[in-house]
Structure 1
């Protein structure tokens, strides 16, 4: 009986070893199933807060001319105005003025669909650059590892509404993470290649880097600059493609400095207390970073990577690169992660360690990437330091069983989801819950009824009923009972009303 069981187990292991595609299909299918509620939920979201103020000029241009060129010109005018009066992140200001649908409630779902797709594309593109182009692993391993990492990010992102369903907040941070990850993938792919960098690649990468330097100049930009610093060290040590690294870094930092020196930042700073000291901010950022790592390194972060661990080990065993000084790499990663907190601490933007939900989303996405990177590096170092071949035994009783491994890993995941946590602790389940109960559908109908009132009340004082979304935004918000509130004024200006408030 025991021999038959062992024979079946061996047969199953051999089958799975030869059919990575099964795991790849299952991983991608799992990701698709869990992402569907994110897209579905987006059908019932509407504009809010800054969405109206940023899109007012482009909306008026479209209503007056129905000309795409006039809309783009209006976006440039808005960008220039905000550069002088509010923020130096010029690329963000331009994109935020081009809200899909320009404020139309029925078109707002495009916001979430574009943002979700952008993050998915960024993760898979970056994964391809690292797993296929650098590690030279198979496409199946790329799909498996990237799918699981993406699930880790989507399911526990701190403020899911701010991440995908509020355009202005998400453009600054969620999309900032995504586009900078794409840039990083492009650079890594180029550095891993042996061919000479062409002039076209120089120009394209430098131009892309300059545009991204005009996005969020806080969390995502500071961490990327730290990564550029590490690339500089690598380039000096290996004497490879130093001109390429220098040009891309210079392009990004030039745009970043232009954004920092924008007059609008000084105007905005007048609304805040005096900035904290530079060295004090770095010190406190390191403390906050350590606290966040302690908070986020949970059973979830340990158990989920078990789903791709065998394939990661297989890829690393075939890797030609050497993994040196893993402790130093982890220390640098800690520094890069902690750096994301320095800008808000320096600007005295709230209590030390407190960040808004949309900023926290970008930080969490960065944390997951760094966490998986460190797992990969340490495993690579262990494999090269202690050859696995010395530990192998030809006897079946000591043979590593893929089947039993996956039964154990999946069991741990199920226990984590169904026992240690309520399923609604994970974003897919919570989003689906509010769709299944009809809450989001009812909210959307209430918002559409309110939009109709707005459109039919030009020049009037308007009073509307409160609508309470089941998942709130931490940054944006609805109108209040005060007609002089900035959100109320933005919406009144957008629809041409004299004023608007809650009853």
Structure 2
């Protein structure tokens, strides 16, 4: 985590960060919430965070901005710890759980699709990452509810799960859809198994459904959709969505790291399997449901992205899917292993020492050199080792240079410059930190928001140098 924490102090706002500040200046903090819901999006949780807690709306574009980024990165292991503590109870001590949380955080950082859109662009991390981390806590609360024997405890955990669901669903559709599908399917299966209505889970599904209705049917969503042109039919979107989902899974599993760690953790799983009252074991009762749920969620979300916007799902949404995929992978693998152990009566399990060291060596080699080899995927940063890239951006000086360039730009824009201004292009900005910068077109919406924030009529950067104009 070290390079990502350090890079927070080189983070700067971009794109929607400036737009949010200018809109809050026009509408007021609370008026901005209404404006977004009616004119742009039904993501009510994100709208509240953008309007009330976004540092740029209060004029903080340097230190205060980095402080929020820092808190978001620290929230990742904290959310993993909360999930593990709720699912594993007292089976392990505090430091063992923090170690496990650190491992899961490493896996998330290692090959998440975009660190810039996760941590260093606050409009995005309020919108995507924060609700996704709350989803981990929601899953833990659901496990605690299912395993509690006292009526009061079950009621309290159910209330917590309902409240969390309302907050999560209002963050983003990528978070909302898996919750809706999962809660609905779980309520139906429990009712069929019990041969009566499973009211607690039906109530949870209804709460999730009501929150999704408030989000999906918001007037702002229809205003936004009217501005996009659909290029794909339903069948074309299904085809592209299916292919995109397949590529994601191959990218996430293709280097073998998750497979290797799953085998190494098998002896831990057999020990947990022997404690039937664990919340983890209540969640791991239905491996087939988990398999179908992940496949349907991935496919549906990819389809919706292509069908509604004619574009692939952005990396910030894929970050959420990758976080969910990590949870699903280990829980799903444990569920099937537990099913097999029960059928075969397995009581003890040990991984041979030679296989252990072989798998550990494989993980180390992939971590060190895997990013130098291409696997399935067409995006330039597929299979990149984000941790290595973050160290390069920090220790190689790219982040410090980026910070100096933008600090100088802000100082220049605050002087008595002309109303129509051109600023220098960023020189080799750090891939870990930068989401986007100004365009050459002063009429671009991001350029306009940037200009309005600094009190200019227009702002742009020059055209990039051509190959012929570059120095030999």
Q: Same fold by TM (over 0.5)?
A: yes
Can you list the C-alpha shifts for 1:323-380, whole angstroms capped at 9, x where unaligned? 6674554234322333332431341x125xx211111211222222211121111221
Indicate the larger mover: 44-53 or 178-187: 178-187
Structure 1 partner of 2:248? 292
Aligned to 1:5: none
Q: TM-score scaled by structure 2?
A: 0.83
Q: Name the SS for the 2:459 alignment partner.
A: strand
Secondary structure, counterpart of 1:500 in structure 2: strand
| Structure 2 residue matching 1:470: 3-state secondary structure | coil
After TM superposition, the structure 1 stretch with the greater mean CA deviation from structure 2, 194-203 or 144-153, is 194-203
Q: Is the 8 A contact 2:55 2:64 kept in 1?
A: yes
Corresponding position of 2:469? none
Match of 2:269 in 1: 312
Partner of 2:404 in structure 1?
A: 445
Query: 1:461 offset after TM fit, Å?
Result: 2.6
Equivalent position of 2:395 in the other structure: 436
CA-CA distance at 1:437 after TM superposition:
1.3
Aligned to 2:357: 407
Query: C-alpha displacement at 1:228, in angstroms?
Result: 0.6
Pairing 1:369–2:327 present? yes
Task: Tell me what 1:157 maps to.
Answer: 112
Counterpart selection for 1:79 from 33, 48, 54: 33
**Residue 286 (structure 2) pairs with residue 337 (structure 1):** no
| Deviation at residue 123 of structure 1 after TM alignment | 1.8
Q: In 1, distance between residues paired with 2:392 and 2:247?
A: 32
The alignment's C-alpha RMSD in Å is: 3.2
SS of the aligned residue for 1:43 comes to: helix
Q: 1:42 is matched with which residue?
A: 8
C-alpha distance after superposition, 1:359-408 (max 9, x if no partner)? 1211222222211121111221222222335x88xxxxxxx577655433
Change (3 A) 1:304 1:458: farther
After TM superposition, the score normalised by the length of structure 1 is 0.78
Instruction: Single out whichever of 117-126 and 237-246 deviates more from structure 2.
Output: 237-246
Kept in 1, the 8 Å contact 2:229–2:310? The answer is no
Q: 1:274 to 1:422 in 2, by over 3 A?
A: closer
Structure 1's 41 and 325: CA in aligned 2 closer, same or farther, altered over 3 A? closer
Q: Which residue of 2 aligns with 1:249?
A: 205
* 1:56-71 superposed matches below 5 A: 56-58=22-24, 60=25
Distance 1:475 1:282 in 2: 32
Please report how far the alpha carbon of residue 288 of structure 1 lies from its aligned counterpart in structure 2 after TM superposition: 4.2
**Alignment partners' CA distance in 1, 2:286 and 2:458:** 63
The correspondence of residues 207-356 of structure 1 with structure 2, limited to 5 A, is 207-216=163-172, 218-236=173-191, 237-238=193-194, 242-274=198-230, 285=241, 288-298=244-254, 299-319=256-276, 321=281, 326-327=287-288, 329-347=290-308, 349-351=309-311, 354-356=312-314
Secondary structure of the equivalent of 1:125? helix
Consecutive unaligned residues in structure 1, runs of 5 or more: 1-34, 62-72, 393-399
Who is 2:124 aligned against?
A: 169
- 1:126 is the counterpart of 2:83: yes
Equivalent in the alignment of 2:342: 384
Aligned to 2:380: none
Query: Compared with structure 1, are the counterparts of its residues 476 and 425 closer, same or farther at alpha carbon in structure 2 (3 Å cutoff)?
Result: closer
- Unaligned regions of 5+ residues in structure 2, if any? 374-382, 463-472
How far has the Cα of 1:473 moved from its partner?
8.2
In structure 2, do the counterparts of structure 1 residues 150 and 313 end up closer, same or farther at CA, with 3 Å as the change threshold? farther
Shift of 1:92: 0.7
Q: Report the Cα distance in structure 2 between the residues aligned to 1:385 and 1:138, rounded to whole angstroms.
A: 30
The change in CA–CA distance for 1:211 and 1:342 in structure 2 (over 3 A counts) is same
Against the structure 1 CA distance between its residues 410 and 377, is the aligned structure 2 distance closer, same or farther, given a 3 Å change threshold? same
Q: Which residue of 1 aligns with 2:366?
A: 416
